[in-house]
Chains A and B, each alone.
Chain A
Amino acid sequence: MSPASDVFEPYPQAEAVWSYLEQRFGMDPAAFADHRLWQRAAHKGVWLLHAAAEPATDIKVDWPGLAVLRQPLPRGFPTNAFLRRFGFAATRSCVDVDWDTALRLMYNHQIERDPLDDRGGPYAIRSPFGTLGRGWVRHGRLVLDTPKAWANQLLPRTELAETE
């Protein structure tokens, strides 16, 4: 890989991303007025970085800010981390669940649910304590895209229940 391909550059199709987020999730582009999108030449990922920051060119930056897309549009969809941070701004394609259901989803359980549209996702799954991440309805079941390790990292649900 050449040094030039290591450098992050402003993402040329930023407007398309803001437009997608508005159409799919109803997120007002103004919510991202203080942010810019960046991409590394030879990579597919698109990153969200605060406008006051700019990836240095004399230092090899490994990653800037928060990953928004792992693949460019139209194939890509928002990352879990992005939706957890900005899911509050979504007004469409949201599935609001209670905390008990949220915990079940975090423990990789699937919940019976009709899809909101004929695409089956992605949806922003939200709980009373914030957005859980990205979800889908597949075969009539709502699933949360979680790292598989989550279930091991979290307390067993029985033990968790004792603290509530």
Chain B
Amino acid sequence: METLRRYAPIVDDVEAFLTAASTPLPRVVWANRVRIGDDAMADLMGRRCPQAEPLAYLDGTWRVPADGPRPGKWPEFTLGLIHTQEEVSLWPVTVLDPRPGEAVLDLCAAPGNKTARMAVAMSDAGSVLANDRRWSRIQGIQDIVARMGLTSVMASHGDGGQLPGQARFDRVLVDAPCTGEGTTRKARGRSPELRNDYHKLQAVQKGLLRRAVELTRPGGVIVYSTCTYAPEENEAVLDGIYPEKAAIEPIELPAEVTVDAGVAEWQGERFRADTANAVRFWPHHNDTGGFFVARLRRL
């Protein structure tokens, strides 16, 4: 975890951060509300995992202890009644807030968990285009969509930075490929490698976000998220969007959830002022993985 010490200037308690980043991660189970009601879900969780606790601030979601049972092995998972995901990964879709009937794009969709979450949030009514660069990973999305029985999801494969078409989406999620430093808890404490290629990924991420802005209707919403801490892959990417194209909006989160604001400066580089509206999830704050989420409004 020592490689994560580079974030000491922007984290409040670096020792707590490093300790949390190496402990096992609780699992989260959420209900496929297209197929199971709240009462049936509560009954299911009571039978399968009595020690699981509902998360009041995320609808239909239950936290299973890290040493608890494996929900992905339950028959209800196989039947598509539930899905399992890391808690912090639920926030990009919650912030995106897709509504029934809307046209939504998931620009980097694989493995498809957030795509499915979006379709369920829309009551499976509307249009979700799940795009990913690799065809092989599109098959994984189809597995999830077929298992959960969702009829509003389409898939395409291609470079998200060059996806053709006009501004036709109401909401776009860019869950960009990143160094994944925030996933160390899923990797059972394996320390991330020391990287010096942040700027290579940054070019890809900027291309994806720019295209996402172009594909969004005026007034539409774009959510940019990564599972990494590096400001090079987060605030610096947001800084690459012209302020007259999109504004970064404040994100309202429940009081129980502790986040830090996006940083204004990193290693001598200053970012546009509204990057402070983005939020950073640190592992030691909410007992989750690490994440970065920003919500942009197309102008």
Co-complex (A, B)? yes
Measured CB to CB, the residues of A under 8 A from B are: 34-35, 48-50, 52-56, 58-67, 79, 81-82, 84-86, 102-103, 106, 129-130, 132, 150, 153-155, 160, 163-164
Against A, the Cβ 8 Å flags (1 = close, 0 = not) of B105-138 are 0000000000000000000111111010001001
Q: Using known A-B contacts A34-B125, A84-B79, determine if residue A55 contacts B146 with beta carbons closer than 8 Å.
A: no
Contact indicator B127/A52 (Cβ below 8 Å):
yes
**B contact residues vs A (CB 8 Å cutoff):** 34-36, 40, 44, 47-49, 69-70, 72-76, 78-81, 101, 103, 124-129, 131, 135, 138, 142, 145-147, 149-158, 163-165
Q: Which of B47, B146, B157 contacts A62 (CB 8 A)?
A: B157
Chain A residues, Cβ within 8 Å of B124: 50
**What CA separation (Å) do A102 and B81 show in the bound complex?**
15
Q: Which residues of B contact A56 (CB under 8 A)?
A: 129, 154, 156, 165
Q: B79–A132 contact, CB under 8 A?
A: yes
Instruction: Say what secondary structure dominates the interface of chain A.
Output: mixed
Contact A150–B78 (Cβ < 8 Å): yes
A-B contact list, 18 entries, CB within 8 Å = A34-B125, A48-B151, A50-B125, A52-B101, A53-B103, A53-B152, A54-B127, A56-B156, A60-B156, A60-B158, A63-B142, A65-B152, A84-B80, A84-B149, A106-B75, A130-B81, A154-B74, A155-B73
How distant is A121 from chain B, measured CB to nearest CB, in Å? 19
When the two chains form their complex, are residues A53 and B127 in contact, meaning their CB atoms are under 8 A apart?
A: yes
Is there an interface contact between B79 and A130, defined as CB atoms closer than 8 Å? yes
A155 adjacent to B74 (CB under 8 Å): yes
A54 to B135, CA, bound (A): 21
User: If A129-B40, A154-B73 touch, does A52 touch B125 (CB 8 Å cutoff)?
Assistant: yes
**Residues of chain A within 8 A of B149, CB atoms compared:** 66, 81-82, 84-86
Task: Pick from B48, B49, B76, B126: contact of A52, CB below 8 A.
Answer: B126
Q: Would you call B75 and A62 a contact (CB within 8 A)?
A: no
Q: A129's contact among B72, B76, B138, B165, by CB below 8 Å, is which?
A: B76
- Which residues on A sit within 8 Å (CB–CB) of B73? 153-155
Instruction: Give the docked Cα–Cα distance between A62 and B125 (Å).
Output: 20
Task: For A154, list chain B residues within 8 Å (CB).
Answer: 73-75, 78
Extra contacts besides A63-B142, A85-B80 (17): CB < 8 Å: A50-B124, A50-B127, A50-B152, A52-B101, A52-B103, A53-B126, A53-B127, A53-B154, A59-B163, A60-B157, A62-B135, A63-B155, A65-B153, A85-B35, A129-B76, A130-B79, A163-B69
Q: How far is the CB of B3 from chain A (nearest CB, A)?
A: 35
Alpha-carbon gap, A112 to B125, bound state (A): 40
Residues of A within 8 A of B157 (CB): 60, 62
A-B interface, 3 closest residue pairs, ranked by CB to CB distance from nearest: A85-B149, A53-B127, A81-B146
Tell me the bound Cα distance from A48 to B155 in angstroms.
14
Q: Give bound CA distance, A35 to B125, whole Å.
A: 9
* Set of chain B residues within 8 Å of A163, measured between Cβ atoms: 47-49, 69
